[in-house]
Structure 1
Amino acid sequence: MPGLPDGTPAHGMPRLPDGTPAHGVPRLREGGPAARGGHPQQREAGGGWGEFAGAAGPGVVVPRQRPAGPGAGAGPRREYLDAFADGRGGVGLDDDIDVFTPRTGKPRPAEGHPADAPEADAGDAPPAGPPAQPSVGLPAQRHGGKGRAFTGIAAAAVTTVLAVVVAGQVAASQHHGGGQPSSAADQARDAGIPGGEAPSASPGTVTLSYEQKMDRTYPLSATLKGSGKFETVPGSAKAPGKGQKYTYRVDIEQGLGLDGELFAEAVQKTLNDDRSWAHDGARTFERVSSGKPDFVITLASPGTTAKWCAKSGLDTTEDNVSCDSAATERVMINAYRWAEGSKTYGDKIHAYRQMLINHEVGHRLGHGHVTCQKDGELAPVMQQQTKFLDHDGIHCLPNPWPYPRS
């Protein structure tokens, strides 16, 4: 608040009747603003201090002063200071009070205008005199223990309120948007997980068994022409029997999008089944991924299958079938048929895949095409079951095995 040019305190600064500024009110310097005090009860006008905010002038709250009596001199009155130093005539240092409970009574009317009193030297010693009562309605203020206690209590109250507000804001932020929970990272940090990272969640997908995968069809175009590049399915499987051993490798054309490991597993299980060419221990089949095998079972697109079968003089394009390309090392399994099946087997896709493997490997072992001879019989595995089951008025039943159990 700016001072008057002659150093007189600005309007609203309380002064004693002899002109001395009230104790604790800063002196004005010539031509400059008044220094702002740091007392906890000094607040800007319009704050939360109720009726006391405007009693001593705008922006400053101090206890009201009695007019000077006999023996009054320069500086604050002795009785005013004594009222805060001990208990004579007012609140003592040892009294227990509730600083938040306002006193009853009315404040004394102000006598004289603080700005009308002559300026006095603030360094003059205060005169002796009878003790005076503190202004009614204000808590007693003292230098020392209880004054600091009031400040500490007020600060604690403000801190408590702020803590409640912050806690409410945190709770609201955690449940913002209709009670949505906090993020996984926040929960992980709250749980003390290093780095604040939540454990990776399970994908929620059920792992299918071999039988379940073999019972499913997979989408693949009947006219697909692949890259023509093959890759070996990694891994191997020992021959389980003691008969004549055949070694084979499993290749799959790149870019098909089919499960090469499932295909390799199906070949090994099918060929070594007792109903297959390993019947009665006559043969056994071993899967390898390196070296020179007896043959290579290859899963390829219809276009690539046709190309490799043509090398052995076979046309697979008319019925989109598979073949044993005898002039090469490859037994070609048409990926479209492997993925989608045939009308002759309907939804029995697992059995159809077993028939594909047994039929084409049967050609590699030297067996040619045959058909069933009686109506209602099982079709021989070397019958072209992808193309037909019925012939010459005879109805054959689908069969994937060279040695089916009756």
Structure 2
Amino acid sequence: MLAVIVAGQVAKSQDDGGTQSRSASGQAGDARPEAGQTPSSSPGTVTLSYEQKMDRTYPLSATLKGSGKFEAVPGFAKAPGTGRKYTYRVDVEQGMGLDGELFAEAVQKTLNDDRSWAHGGARTFERISSGKPDFVITLASPGTTAQWCAKSGLDTTEDNVSCDSASTERVMINAYRWAQGSKTYGDKIHPYRQMLINHEVGHRLGYGHVSCQKSGELAPVMQQQTKFLDHDGIHCLPNPWPYPRS
């Protein structure tokens, strides 16, 4: 009888352990990657694709004043075209917690898109991390952005915007706008980020502000789309590209 009782206790213990194991396995099984995601090396986590990262907003305060210290994103991205070549470096202000490599990838992909300033092979853009670039695209906190824009007589504080600080080497991208977007674009954060890059680099290339002239038209990329889409009774549509119909 003692043998039977002990055997029964052992069997019950094994059954309990099996239930716990199945429960943990079931939880892990529910955390399946979404379409386009790739399982990472860490169990229970996934690696987001470029598109997925660009479709997400990130936490960052509208009043953040960063360290003012910049770090160049390492690496090199060759100019893919044969037109007039511009070299640029990507700097990111330290301590903001944003993905500098994602930002650098977005700049390279955006500028060399045929809908962008590389349209028709006229220009091509190459990212370097050492040497003397033609300009430096800088992701910085609102406070630091305002400081650098003020060096060129520009006030970015009223609407918390970005600028091309033309008297310096820096094209300033306001990290709050990069992370959080604008009311004009709503939840369309990926195209908004493309517009930010194209608009400010457009200034560096010599283009000034313009606005759409007829309701229902795409806003020109050089319209101040962070501030407004509608003006003087005219309703403009959001547009991140210099040549959107390419």
Q: How does 1:7-406 map to 2 (within 5 A)?
A: 175=13, 178-179=16-17, 202-405=42-245
Offset, 1:181: 8.7
User: Aligned to 1:378, what secondary structure does the other structure show?
Assistant: coil
Cα separation, 2, equivalents of 1:181 and 1:234: 49
Percentage identity across aligned positions? 87
Q: 2:186 is aligned with what amino acid? A: G
**3-state secondary structure, aligned to 2:47:** coil
Shift of 1:179: 2.5
Deviations 1:330-353 (A, max 9, x none): 100000000000000011100000
Higher helix share: 2
- For the residues of structure 1 that align with 2:61 and 2:198, how far apart are their CA atoms? 24
**Per-residue deviation at 1:177?**
10
TM-score, normalised to structure 1, is 0.52
Q: Distance in 1 between matches of 2:208 and 2:18?
A: 69
Q: Deviations over 1:350-379 (max 9, x none)?
A: 000000000000000000100111111110
What amino acid is aligned across from residue 334 of structure 1 in structure 2?
N
Query: Aligned AA for 1:179?
Result: G
1:219 is aligned with what amino acid? P
Instruction: Flag the structure with higher strand content.
Output: 2
Large movers: runs of 4+ above 2 Å: 175-183
SS in 2 for 1:249: strand
- Cα-to-partner distance string for 1:52-108 (whole Å, 9 max, x where unaligned): xxxxxxxxxxxxxxxxxxxxxxxxxxxxxxxxxxxxxxxxxxxxxxxxxxxxxxxxx
AA aligned to 1:389 is L
Whole-angstrom CA distance in 2 between matches of 1:266 and 1:231: 17
Q: Which amino acid in structure 2 is aligned with residue 221 of structure 1? A: S
Report SS of the residue matched to 1:221.
coil
Shift of 1:176: 8.0
Tell me how far apart the structure 1 counterparts of residues 14 and 162 of structure 2 sit (CA, whole Å): 61
TM-score, with length taken from structure 2: 0.85
Runs of at least 5 residues in structure 2 that lack an aligned partner in the other structure: 22-40
**Aligned-residue offset at 1:305:** 0.4
| Shift in CA distance, 275/182, structure 1 to aligned 2, threshold 3 Å | closer
Q: Report SS of the residue matched to 1:354.
A: helix
Count of equivalent residues = 224
Q: How far apart, in 2, do the equivalents of 1:331 and 1:181 lie? A: 59
Cα distance in 1 for residues equivalent to 2:179 and 2:46:
21
SS of the residue corresponding to residue 299 of structure 1 reads strand
Aligned-pair CA distance for 1:206:
1.8
- Alpha-carbon distance in structure 1 between the residues aligned to 2:121 and 2:86: 13
